[in-house]
Structure 1
Amino acid sequence: MIRIMIVDDHKMVCEGLTRLMEFDKEVEVVETANDGYDCLNKIRKAKPDLILLDMNMPELNGIDLLKMLNQRKNRPKILVLTVHSEIEYLMKVLDLGVEGYILKDCGSKELLRAVHSVYHGERFIQPNLIPLLNSRLIAKDIDQEKIEALSKRELDVLKLVAVGHFNKDIAHLLRISERTVKNHLCNIFRKIDCDDRTQAAVFCIRNGIVSVHD
Structure 2
Amino acid sequence: MIRVVLVDDQQLARAGLRMLCESTSDIEVVGEADNGRDAVTVATTAVPDVVLMDLRMPGMDGITATRRILEIRPATRVLVLTTFDDDDHVYPALTAGACGFLAKDVAPADLLDGIRKVVAGESPFSPAVLRRIVDRAMTATRPAPAQPDLTDRELDVLALLGAGMSNAQIGEELHVGVTTVKTHVANIMTKTRCDNRVRLAVLAVRLGLVV
Structure 2 residues without counterparts, runs of 5 or longer: 143-211
TM-fit CA distance, 1:63: 1.4
Tell me the distance in 2 between the aligned counterparts of 1:21 and 1:67. 24
CA separation of 1:91 and 1:40: change in aligned 2, threshold 3 A: closer
Question: Contact 1:69–1:75 at 8 Å: present in 2 too?
Answer: no
Aligned to 2:52: 52
CA separation of 1:21 and 1:61: change in aligned 2, threshold 3 A: same
Q: What CA deviation, in whole Å up to 9, does each residue of 1:68-108 have, x standing for no partner? A: 22322434100000111213431222122211110001110
Structure 1 residues without counterparts, runs of 5 or longer: 143-214
Aligned to 2:42: 42
SS of structure 2 residue aligned to 1:16:
helix
Question: Contact 2:43–2:69 at 8 Å: present in 1 too?
Answer: no
One-letter code of the match for 1:125? F
CA separation of 1:101 and 1:116: change in aligned 2, threshold 3 A: same
Rg larger in structure: 1
1:16 aligns with 2:25: no
Instruction: Count matched residues.
Output: 142
Aligned to 1:133: 133
Aligned to 1:5: 5
**Of 130-139 and 46-55, the range deviating more from structure 2:** 130-139
Aligned to 2:93: 93
Question: Contact 1:2–1:27 at 8 Å: present in 2 too?
Answer: yes
Tell me the distance in 2 between the aligned counterparts of 1:131 and 1:74. 27
Question: Contact 2:103–2:126 at 8 Å: present in 1 too?
Answer: yes
Question: Contact 1:87–1:136 at 8 Å: present in 2 too?
Answer: no
Aligned to 2:117: 117
TM-score, normalised to structure 2, is 0.63
The RMSD of aligned alpha carbons is 1.4
Q: Give matches, 1:203-214, under 5 Å.
A: none
One-letter code of the match for 1:23? S
CA separation of 1:10 and 1:127: change in aligned 2, threshold 3 A: same
Q: Give matches, 1:110-189, under 5 Å.
A: 110-142=110-142
Tell me the distance in 1 between the aligned counterparts of 2:41 and 2:133. 34
Question: Contact 2:8–2:33 at 8 Å: present in 1 too?
Answer: yes
Q: Give matches, 1:58-97, under 5 Å.
A: 58-97=58-97
SS of structure 2 residue aligned to 1:125:
coil
Aligned to 2:27: 27
